[in-house]
């Protein structure tokens, strides 16, 4: 599912009106009609007071049109207008006129806190103050209005986007954002819904189809897109009946040091469960027995050193390499990584301490094989790209690094981003239970395994992240968030593959975040 910027959505709006020969007020009628249908289906005429708070732009226009439709169907509605300026959009004015035609209870013009209504906890609040046209933080008494709404326990439904959030810009003032329980967004979700600082304001959303021009939506390059099951399923390659283990790649995994051998055990098990044909594990001598006992399927290649990694021989040409898990950052290890990069052309997975070493020796960037996948956790990412000011600055820094060195970098989080040259993919699986030790080692093993099997690097990254999140979801469903461990995620990798091919129930909530 594509994510468009506010600018692209305005353009889609314009082209739709032009091609379908409708006015923007007609489009607003369609949009408000979808919100009305959603509410009406759930409320079935219930006489719960609905308070609709409108701004003076088109988001306010949506609120007015919705108010009229609800009144026409006998609902108990109060409409309020935040009258903080004389400015009004054309569609707002048209709908302001239309609502006055259907009720004597005209919208109440609010010009300060004295006009704020009392809201009963069981009432419903509809937030139509600002939509994607927000250009600055909400200030003055309008911010007080937002605080007033947020102080109410009443259910809050945001139209298009919670007021105070920018569709694709940083959060300007976290206090001045409506804490909506649910957001009904038009056509496609907004970027803000998926990034940590703004996504917290959008616990649930649904995208309502308002019939924007399909050609525009198909042909326009989005700012990002969400990875859902059908896409991952389309990447999956069936196995040939006559294939053998040599057809599924030989992964070399290098890492571990004294006290951190568990990372390599987790990565190795995850790699094998994800399907690579052969796995060789390169560990310091002290890790040999641990690995051979915990992962009997893997071959082990001991380092010259007892406790750390000092050389990673690749003269036997592994299909691909995954390096860095629990590896430590000793000087001899840095040298081993430099040599590994110099001797390897094919893309590899670079994780954990290998990333920390690159951060310390920035000139190593130039020798990373193109197409490699970097899997930093937030701390490692900060060391790689420097301190960011907000989520968008973070994405921009990562994008630049990807472009400059032709790399794929993961930005891990509630919705992990896979960023590659010219592309941002937003993962849709995963849960807070996965914020646990070793979860990242499992992921690196999975991605390395997919890469070894011949999946393109970008596809290996997207698939690995999706399947890892899906395995984590299954673990959380069975165990609860707290009991999810990396081993539990790993043991459900098989389920995550099987789930790809499970029959879907007919969709009820097209864009639900959950």
Q: Is 185 in the site for ligand NPW (CB under 6 A)?
A: no
Q: 104 touches which of K ion, ligand NPW, none (CB within 5 to 8 A by kind)?
A: none
Per-residue b or e along 291-325, where b marks 16 or more CB atoms closer than 10 Å to that residue's CB: beebbeebebbebebebbbbbbbbeeebbbbbbbb
Q: Is 127 in the site for K ion (CB under 5 A)?
A: yes
Site stretch for ligand NPW (CB under 6 A), options 6-14, 144-152, 240-248, 356-364: 6-14
Q: Is 29 in the site for ligand NPW (CB under 6 A)?
A: no
**From CA 356, how far away is CA 360, in angstroms rounded?**
6
Contact 282, 254 (CB under 8 A): yes
Q: Is 31 in the site for ligand NPW (CB under 6 A)?
A: yes
| CA-CA-CA-CA dihedral for 353, 357, 362, 363, to nearest 10 | -120
Q: 485 touches which of K ion, ligand NPW, none (CB within 5 to 8 A by kind)?
A: none
User: Residues within the annotated binding site for AMP?
Assistant: 412-416, 440
User: Residues within the annotated binding site for (6S)-NADPHX?
Assistant: 58-62, 131-137, 160, 263, 326, 377, 441
Q: 471 touches which of ligand NPW, K ion, none (CB within 5 to 8 A by kind)?
A: none
Binding residues for ligand NPW restricted to 69-88, rule: CB under 6 A: 87
* DSSP strand pairing (423-427 vs 417-420): antiparallel
Q: Is 177 in the site for K ion (CB under 5 A)?
A: no
Task: State both tokens at 274.
Answer: 């994800």
Binding residues for ligand NPW restricted to 120-139, rule: CB under 6 A: 130-138
Least distance to K ion, CB of residue 142, Å: 12
Site stretch for ligand NPW (CB under 6 A), options 24-32, 67-75, 368-376, 450-458: 24-32
Q: Is 27 in the site for ligand NPW (CB under 6 A)?
A: yes
Site stretch for K ion (CB under 5 A), options 32-40, 58-66, 392-400, 496-504: 58-66
**From CA 330, how far away is CA 188, in angstroms rounded?**
48
Q: Is 180 in the site for ligand NPW (CB under 6 A)?
A: no
Encode 165-200 in three state secondary structure. Answer: CCCCCCCCCHHHCCCCCEEEEECCCCHHHHCHHHHC
Query: What is the crossing angle of helices 261-273 and 439-452, to 10°?
Result: 40
Closest CA to 324 of 345, 358, 285, 351: 351
What is the torsional sign of CA 274, 277, 282, 283? Answer: positive
Q: Please, which residues have CB within 8 angstroms of residue 158's CB and are 6 or more apart in sequence?
A: 127, 178, 180, 182, 183, 184
Place of tokens 């049109």: 65
Site stretch for K ion (CB under 5 A), options 119-127, 410-418, 439-447, 485-493: 119-127
CB-nearer residue toward K ion: 208 or 410: 208
Contact string (CB under 5 A) for K ion, positions 291-330, x = contact: ----------------------------------------
CB-nearer residue toward K ion: 192 or 352: 192
Instruction: State phi, psi for 58 to the nearest 5 degrees.
Output: -75, -25
**From CA 279, how far away is CA 452, in angstroms rounded?**
9
Radius of gyration of the chain (CA): 26
Task: State both tokens at 272.
Answer: 């094998």
Contact 329, 358 (CB under 8 A): no
Q: Is 368 in the site for ligand NPW (CB under 6 A)?
A: no
**From CA 52, how far away is CA 78, in angstroms rounded?**
6
**From CA 320, how far away is CA 251, in angstroms rounded?**
5
Least distance to K ion, CB of residue 50, Å: 15
What is the torsional sign of CA 323, 324, 325, 326? Answer: positive
CB-nearer residue toward ligand NPW: 20 or 258: 20
Q: 136 touches which of ligand NPW, K ion, none (CB within 5 to 8 A by kind)?
A: ligand NPW
Least distance to K ion, CB of residue 132, Å: 9
CB-nearer residue toward ligand NPW: 89 or 372: 89
Q: Is 69 in the site for K ion (CB under 5 A)?
A: no
CB-nearer residue toward K ion: 158 or 434: 158
Q: Is 59 in the site for ligand NPW (CB under 6 A)?
A: yes
Binding residues for ligand NPW restricted to 200-239, rule: CB under 6 A: 210
**Site for ligand NPW (CB under 6 A): how many residues?**
29
**Site for K ion (CB under 5 A): how many residues?**
5
Q: Please, which residues have CB within 8 angstroms of residue 259's CB and are 6 or more apart in sequence?
A: none
Strand partners of residue 114: none
Closest residue to K ion: CB criterion: 163
Q: 419 touches which of ligand NPW, K ion, none (CB within 5 to 8 A by kind)?
A: none
Q: Is 160 in the site for ligand NPW (CB under 6 A)?
A: yes
Q: 158 touches which of K ion, ligand NPW, none (CB within 5 to 8 A by kind)?
A: K ion
Q: Is 58 in the site for ligand NPW (CB under 6 A)?
A: yes
Catalog residues that contact ligand NPW under the rule CB under 6 A: 9-10, 12-13, 27-28, 31, 55-60, 62, 87, 89, 130-138, 159-160, 186, 210
Catalog residues that contact K ion under the rule CB under 5 A: 59, 127, 158-159, 163
């Amino acid at each position: 599912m594509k994510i468009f910027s506010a600018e692209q959505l305005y353009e889609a709006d314009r082209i739709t009106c032009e091609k379908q020969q409708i006015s923007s007020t007609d489009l607003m009628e369609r949009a408000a009609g979808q919100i009305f249908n959603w509410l009406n289906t759930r409320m079935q005429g219930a006489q719960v007071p609905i308070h609709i708070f409108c701004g003076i732009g088109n988001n306010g226009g949506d609120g007015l049109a919705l108010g009229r439709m609800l009144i026409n169907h006998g609902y108990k509605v109060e409409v309020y207008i935040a009258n903080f300026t004389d400015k009004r959009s054309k569609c707002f004015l048209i709908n302001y006129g239309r609502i006055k035609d259907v009720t004597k209870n005209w919208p109440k013009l609010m010009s300060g806190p004295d006009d704020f209504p009392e809201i009963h906890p069981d009432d419903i609040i509809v937030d139509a103050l600002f939509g994607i046209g927000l250009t600055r933080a909400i200030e003055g008494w309008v911010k007080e209005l937002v605080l007033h709404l947020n102080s109410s326990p009443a259910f809050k439904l945001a139209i298009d986007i919670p007021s105070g959030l920018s569709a694709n810009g940083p959060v300007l003032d976290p206090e001045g954002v409506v804490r909506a329980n649910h957001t009904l967004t038009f056509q496609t979700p907004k970027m803000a819904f998926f990034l940590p600082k703004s996504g917290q304001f959008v616990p649930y959303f649904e995208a309502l189809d308002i019939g924007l021009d399909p050609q525009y939506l198909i042909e326009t390059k989005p700012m990002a897109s969400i990875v859902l099951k059908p896409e991952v399923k389309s990447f999956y390659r069936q196995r040939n009946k006559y294939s053998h283990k040599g057809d599924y790649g030989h992964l070399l995994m290098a890492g571990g040091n004294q006290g951190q051998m568990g990372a390599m055990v987790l990565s190795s098990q995850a790699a094998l469960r994800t399907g690579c044909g052969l796995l060789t594990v390169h560990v310091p001598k002290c890790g040999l027995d641990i690995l051979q006992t915990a992962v009997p399927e893997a071959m082990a290649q001991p380092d010259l050193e007892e406790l750390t990694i000092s050389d990673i021989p690749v003269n036997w040409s592994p299909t691909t390499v995954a390096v860095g898990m629990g590896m430590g950052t000793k000087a001899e290890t840095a040298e081993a990584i430099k040599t590994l990069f110099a001797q390897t052309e094919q893309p590899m997975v670079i994780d954990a301490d290998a990333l920390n070493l690159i951060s310390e020796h920035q000139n190593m960037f130039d020798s990373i094989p193109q197409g490699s996948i970097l899997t930093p956790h937030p701390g490692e990412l900060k060391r790689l790209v420097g301190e960011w000011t907000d989520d968008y600055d973070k994405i921009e820094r990562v994008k630049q690094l990807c472009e400059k060195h032709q790399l794929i970098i993961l930005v891990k989080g509630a919705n992990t981003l896979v960023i590659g040259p010219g592309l941002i993919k937003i993962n849709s699986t995963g849960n807070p239970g996965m914020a646990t030790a070793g979860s990242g080692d499992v992921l690196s093993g999975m991605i390395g395994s997919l890469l070894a099997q011949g999946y393109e690097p970008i596809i290996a990254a997207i698939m690995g992240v999706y399947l890892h999140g899906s395995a984590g979801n299954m673990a959380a469903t069975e165990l609860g968030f707290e009991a999810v461990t990396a081993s539990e995620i790993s043991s459900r990798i098989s389920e995550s593959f099987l789930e790809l091919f499970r029959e879907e129930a007919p969709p009820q909530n097209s864009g639900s975040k959950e």
